[in-house]
Structure 1
């Protein structure tokens, strides 16, 4: 199935819980939430419609690694450092699979992330894409559309978080 990215928004009054136990704010079956499956069912039909409202959940499929690369601080994109925090991290591999990466982003951290992420435009993505090569074998045009689509979703999600004064917990796994 592969390693994917899921983020869940939380209200400011749950910030301490998010710090103390971020897993308590994550779904027990995020892929089911993202794909419209019955949670924990061994057989289910996917609707491919996200169950959770888009203001409450961000699903980035496997685009997280491209967005991680895109937002990694460089001299070309100096503002990217703040939004890199939203994509930073990787799973810990072991014999039986992997342990996910989980991070809490507090409501007061969101505006800087939003500002950095929303400053990235299509021209910057196109420039970055010249050196990016997907491990998934997609051609350059398809990969660019894929990354731009998920970048837009991420920008809309953090914009809503900032507007509502919310934080997020994300899982790469």
Structure 2
């Protein structure tokens, strides 16, 4: 199924708890939340729409890797964009699969991220994404831009409401 990205919002008044225990703000079944499945059920019908309001959850599917590349430092020794904090991280691989990457971002961090995402142009995606002979470039860029736009809206809404977020790559 692959490694995917899920983010959940939290209110500013619980930021201290979220920062100290991010997993307590994660769903037990984020894929079910993202795809409209019944949580914990092995086989069920899906709506292929989020069961959690978009105000409270961001699902980036596998586009997180593209957004990570887009916001990462251009070269070694250079600083990453502030938005990189929202996409940074990789799973830890081991013999039995992987352990997810989990991070909480305080409302102040989300504000800086939202401001930075507003400055990332859709055209920048085409410039920064690596070229692969195995992928249709136009479809790949379109895929990344669509999720970039979702991330922009999510971060902007959180910033406007003084909320933070917890995200999981896994």
TM-score (norm 2): 0.94
Matches within 5 A, 1:91-170: 91-129=91-129, 131-133=130-132, 137-170=134-167
3-state secondary structure, aligned to 1:145: helix
Q: Deviations over 1:15-64 (max 9, x none)?
A: 11101211110100000000000000011112100011111000000000
> Tell me, which stretches of 5 or more residues in structure 1 are unaligned?
none
1:33 aligns with 2:33: yes
Give the number of aligned pairs. Answer: 168
**Matches of 2:60 and 2:159 in 1, distance apart?**
19
Q: What corresponds to 1:16 in structure 2?
A: 16
Say whether the 8 Å CA contact 1:54–1:157 is kept in structure 2: yes
Q: Deviations over 1:102-141 (max 9, x none)?
A: 0000001111111111111122112123x3439xx43111
1:74 aligns with 2:74: yes
3-state secondary structure, aligned to 1:85: helix
**Matches of 2:51 and 2:79 in 1, distance apart?**
33
> Tell me, which stretches of 5 or more residues in structure 2 are unaligned?
none
Structure 1 stretches of 4+ with a deviation exceeding 4 A read none
Alpha carbon RMSD of aligned pairs, Å?
1.6
3-state secondary structure, aligned to 2:40: coil
Say whether the 8 Å CA contact 1:80–1:116 is kept in structure 2: no
Say whether the 8 Å CA contact 1:79–1:116 is kept in structure 2: no
Deviation at 1:73, TM superposition (A): 2.2
